Amino acid sequence: MRIVSLLPSTTEIVCALGLEDELVGITHECDYPRSVGDKPRLTASRISHETMTSAEIDHAVRSQLDGHGSIYNLDEAKLRELKPDLILTQELCEVCAVSYKKVQHAARSFEADVTVVSLEPNTIDDIFANIRLVGELTNRVQRAAELINELTSRLQAVRSRTEVISNRPLTLMLEWLEPPFAPGHWVPEQVALAGGDHAFGKAGQRSVTTTAEEIRAYAPEVIVLIPCGYYKEDILRQLADANLPEGWNDLPAVKTNQVWAVDATSYFSRPGPRVVDGVEILAKILHPEVSGSPTSDEAVRVSEARP
C-alpha cells in the first residue's frame, strides 16, 4: 500500500503501526519520528512561526480564512506522481492542515482509484478510534489494538496516581498567546487525567478566544503554555514580544512561578499517540509529589513573563 499522510498526527499513527516503509508522502510539518525526514513533502505554509509574532499569525490566519483562502499550499502534481492508494487528511480545522476540499479535488484528477479518508478526532477516545480505523484501512488491526491497549494502560497508570488526590490545581492551558485561547478538544481531558481542574476549557469542543477578565476570574494556580504548533523554544521566543493578558503578573500561577512551557506540537496539538505523553508530563507538572518532576526536555518554567 502507498500511503500519503497530510497530517503530522496521522504520520505518527502510520509509523506507530509499523507502516513507515509504505508512507510515500508527508507534510512540511511532519517531524516525528525523525526517520520520516527524507520522505517527499507535499505541503507548504504561507505563514511563518519563526518570523511572525503570535498576534501577526492570528491576523494572517483570520484574513486568509475570512477571505475563503487557505494558509497551506498542496503540491498536486507531486501528489499525482506518488500514486497513493490511501490519503489520510482532515476537515476539522483549516488552520491545522491543507483544505479537505483541495485534497478531494486533487484526488479526483487521478487516473487510478484512491481512498481519501478524513479523520475528525475531538476527544482521546476519538484519537484511539482513529488509530483503530487506520489499522483497519492498512491491514494492521492487531497492531492497532496492541497500541491502543498500551496507551490505555499508561493513562490508567496516571489516573490511579491522581484520582485519589483532593488538591486539583486550577489549571490554565493557554492554546494561543495573543489573543489568548482557551483549550478544547482533548486538552481538558488531559488536564483531568493528570489531576488538574479542567473547568477552563470545554472537552470535545473547539478551542475559543478568551479574555483577560475570564482568566483573572479563574485565577489559575498553574499555567501551561501550549500555543498550537509551537515547541518550547518557539514559546519562549514569542513571549518576548507578546502582549499577555492584562493583570498577568497578578495571577496566582505567575506569582508562585508555576508558568510552564512545553512542546505543544508534540504532546497537545497533534491528535496522535503522544497525547498520552502529554498527560504524563502534565501529571509531573501538577503533582510532582506522586509523579516525579518533569525533565527539562519535557517542560520548563517560565520564570520571567511580560505583563
> Over the stretch 117-129, which tens digit does the pLDDT of each residue have?
888 899 999 999 9
Pick the more confident residue, 43 or 276: 276
pLDDT band at 304 (very low <50, low <70, confident <90, very high): low
Instruction: Work out the pLDDT band at 216, boundaries 50, 70, 90.
Output: very high
Position 110 in a domain: yes
Which has the closest alpha carbon to 223: 172, 187, 262, 263?
A: 172
Examine residue 281 and state whether it is found in any structural domain, yes or no: yes
Query: Strand 43-45 vs strand 72-74: parallel, antiparallel, or unpaired?
Result: antiparallel
The answer to the question of residue 134 being in a domain is: no
Number of domains in the chain: 2
Nearest to 250 by CA among 168, 307, 301: 307
Taking 60 as the threshold, does the pLDDT of residue 270 lie above it? yes
- 294 and 176 within one domain: yes
| pLDDT exceeds cutoff 60 at 64 | no
For residue 307, being part of any structural domain is answered with: no
Residue 305 has pLDDT above 70, yes or no: no
Least confident of 8-12, 85-89, 90-94, 120-124: 90-94
Task: Render the chain in DSSP notation, one character per residue.
Answer: --EEE-SHHHHHHHHHTT-GGGEEEB-TT--SSGGGTTS-B-EEESS-TTTS-HHHHHHHHHHHHHTT--SEEE-HHHHHHH--SEEEE--S-TTTSS-HHHHHHHHHT-SS--EEEE----SHHHHHHHHHHHHHHTT-HHHHHHHHHHHHHHHHHHHHHHTT-----BEEEESBTTTTEE--TTHHHHHHHHT-B--SS-TTS--EE--HHHHHHH--SEEEE--TT--HHHHHHHHTT--PPTTGGGSHHHHTT-EEEE-HHHHTSS-STTHHHHHHHHHHHH-HHHH-PPPTTTEEE------
The answer to whether residue 57 sits within a structural domain is yes
Domain at 52, CATH number: 3.40.50.1980
**For residue 286, what are the domain limits?**
164-301
Indicate if 179 and 63 belong to the same structural domain. no
- The residues that bridge with 174 in the sheet, in sequence order, are 225
Q: Reply yes or no: is the peptide bond before residue 179 cis, omega within 30 of 0.
A: yes
Same structural domain for residues 169 and 287? yes
Average pLDDT in the 187-204 region? 95
pLDDT of residue 160: 96
Same domain, 114 and 191: no
Which pLDDT belongs to residue 106?
A: 62
Is residue 83 in a domain?
yes
> In the prediction, which pLDDT does 186 show?
97
Cell of 60: 494572517
41, 134, 199, 220, 248 from 174: Cα distances, Å = 30, 30, 13, 11, 12
Same domain, 219 and 283: yes
Same domain, 114 and 184: no
Name the residue type at position 142.
Answer: Q
